[in-house]
Amino acid sequence: MRRLGNVFASLLLTVTATFVGALAMPEKALADGCYTWGRQLSEGTSGEDVRQLQIRISGYPGYGGVLAVDGQFGAGTKAAVVRFQQAYGLADDGIAGPNTFAKIYALQDDDCTPVNFSYAELNDCNSTWAGGNVSAATAKANALLSMWKLQAMRHALGDQQIRVTSGFRSVACNNAAGGASSSRHLYGDAVDLGAGPHTLCRLAQQARNHGFPGILGPGYPDHNDHTHVDRRSSRFWSAPNCGVSSSLVESIDPVEGTGP
């Protein structure tokens, strides 16, 4: 009896392993110059592959949200995957599988930046990313995250250009620009945006949907000629001429501006 049971258990294990293996295999082994995911990711998974996914979908946290980039696929990550899938007309099951990864591959360059933004664009201060308030590697990683948020914002605004006028600054560059000593530009995650296809107000309003706890724009001192976004630790939104304010976070229709 016992022996038979063991044989059965072992057979069951083999069948189960084969089944799980088949599920885990991507439909097609897509190679990508930046990063290639090797398994489907859903709620409850964790690891570096989840963290890489979170970076790419960090622009989809919902209004006023900020997605944690912690390698843990929880409810927030699932909701962000759903929003990403909806933004690109994919089946919105909240599971990152072949179709979701294929869209991400199409959106990223070989250096892992999103197709419409570049490291050079986010740093006109130096080429090393050194001399700020964090290590060069951290500054660059922070800038990468901001670029993915901007890519989501760009898509939401009809895939028209978003013009970057300033990004990372070393202490020397920040002093030369007259920036505050606590400026998020010293951390690499701040980006200044200029008017173009979109007004400065439109940019400030839309940024509320894409994971920027810091938004400064028209009406805030020294921000009448650009809209500034960043990833500070707690929310501070101020673009008084655009109806953008930290205290108005309950008004959840950010689609059109109320200000001039």
- 210 binding Zn ion? (CB under 5 A): no
Residue 62 or residue 194: which is nearer to Zn ion going by CB?
194
CA dist 108 → 28, 89, 96, 138, 250 (Å): 18, 18, 16, 20, 34
- Minimal distance, residue 95 CB to Zn ion, in Å: 37
Q: Which of 210, 223, 226, 228 is catalytic?
A: 223
Whether 223 is a known active-site residue: answer: yes
- Minimal distance, residue 185 CB to Zn ion, in Å: 6
Residue where the block lists tokens 């072949």:
98
Residue 154 or residue 223: which is nearer to Zn ion going by CB?
223
Residue 49 or residue 121: which is nearer to Zn ion going by CB?
121
Q: Which of 140, 210, 228, 231 binds Zn ion (CB under 5 A)?
A: 228
- 49 binding Zn ion? (CB under 5 A): no
- 192 binding Zn ion? (CB under 5 A): yes
String marking each residue 66-85 x if it binds Zn ion according to CB under 5 A: --------------------
List the catalytic residues: 223
Which residues of the chain form contacts with Zn ion (CB under 5 A)? 190, 192, 228
